[in-house]
Amino acid sequence: MRTWDIFCSVVDNFGDIGVCWRLSRQLSSELGQSVRLLVDDLASFHRLCSDVDPARQSQRICGVEIRHWNRALEVQPAEIVIEGFGARLPDAYIISMTMRQPHPVWINLEYLSAEPWVEGCHGLPSPHTSLPLVKYFFFPGFTSATGGLLMESGLTQARDAFQRDPAALAAFWRSLDLAPPDDKVLSISLFCYDNCALPALVEAWSIHSRSVVCIVPDGKVLGHLSHIVGRPIVVGNGIKLGRLAIYAVPFLELDQYDRLLWACDFNFVRGEDSFVRAQLAARPLVWQAYPQSGGAHLPKTFAFLQRYTDALDASARPAVCALFDAWSRESADIGKHWSALRSHREMLAAHASKWAAHLGCGGNLAVKLAEFCENRLK
Ligand code: TRH
């Protein structure tokens, strides 16, 4: 067993803490590691995990020691130090790392990308400019030459059992205060950044050939949706617009959000963690990458699409690519691309299952990370 410090700085969203918490839980509960998770924003963490008490400096949940990372933080470095997404470690902590023998293995856990260059950069060392420390870049990814993806054990079984169990599904919908959608209704979850294509998408859903129910966890998008439909949409209520019903639900706990992805026919996701979880949900998805200036997020989107559609029947490929493209570029043409998908629905559902099964081929991130660090500590 090794000791780990995982530093997480919550920037302006939930992906950083979502990933760091998932990783911490898995290292502790499945790999028996001693994990300390240092988080600078416990209030955001609380939204994903209600057991977290934002007022406490130190607490233990699921075997993980959680510390509030504030100015007062004084801790001795662990054997393995993870910098989640470039979270800048305190200077005093870095100095203490030089005093520990052997020096801790220092990892920068990077953002996920399907781009091919990731394979060449994964695992590269970066010696500190003035101290006898080396930082390694650890890249999540989709191939065995990368760090793989976070996947807790038992995930597939839990997901399959849930998706095959009408009683579990019905109980889940009822837990959201919603009636379980019948087979004729297309259920969609929506989690996205501001997107100028949203009005056109809402319109397409409102005239869809089947009734559509769209579930929206609490967030900024509710304001945009309210503006589009001209009525306030707040948590706990819903509105109807033609064939579309929109329901706002609370921001769900991490594991409940998984269930939402498992329960819906189609998921709109964003960023990094919801994107991976939607793939693991074995349901068709549309992804909005974290928008970057100058469209730097677009190559990320296309690199993923290339992998995702590679094994998809050629007849459905253009429709999927066009929909991703329209959503990523925030195009008002999205409605026609949404409609074009209709004839491929069954094929897409089957493909989503195959893709989810294939995701394991790149390896399990927590296991690979632990091996990587162990090899450097020996
Ligand atoms: O919140 P995000 O936009 O996070 C992003 C990305 O990580 C991006 O790479 C980073 O640069 C930026 O933050 C700063 O999207 P993401 O990655 O999908 O994270 C959302 C997390 O919130 C994920 O762990 C799932 C979780 N979640 C819930 O627990 N409940 C919910 O109801 C919803 C909608 C999400």
- Share of residues in the chain with pLDDT > 70 (%): 100
Same domain (yes/no): 128, 166: no
**Which residues are near ligand 1 (CB < 6 Å)?**
11-16, 18, 48, 111, 191, 217, 251-252, 254, 257, 270-275, 290
Number of domains in the chain: 2
Domain residues for 231? 155-360
Q: Which atom of ligand 1 is nearest to the CA of 47?
A: 29
Q: Tell me the average pLDDT of the chain.
A: 96
Same domain (yes/no): 171, 283: yes
Same domain (yes/no): 141, 20: yes
Residue whose CA lies nearest to ligand 1 atom number 3: 271
Query: What does the pLDDT read at residue 222?
Result: 97
Q: Express each pLDDT in 45-102 by its tens digit.
A: 999 999 999 999 999 999 999 999 987 778 999 999 999 998 999 999 999 999 999 9
Alpha carbon distance 49, 53 (integer Å):
9
Query: What does the pLDDT read at residue 359?
Result: 95
Domain CATH number, residue 40: 3.40.50
Nearest CA to 14 out of 53, 41, 38, 54 is that of 41
Residue whose CA lies nearest to ligand 1 atom number 7: 15
Alpha carbon distance 254, 251 (integer Å):
9
Same domain (yes/no): 72, 182: no
Same domain (yes/no): 56, 9: yes
Query: What does the pLDDT read at residue 295?
Result: 87
Q: Express each pLDDT in 159-195 by its tens digit.
A: 999 999 999 999 999 999 999 999 999 999 999 999 9
pTM higher than 0.75, yes or no?
yes
Q: Return the half-sphere exposure (C-beta side, CA atoms, 13 A cut-off) of residue 205.
A: 25
β partners of residue 35 = 4
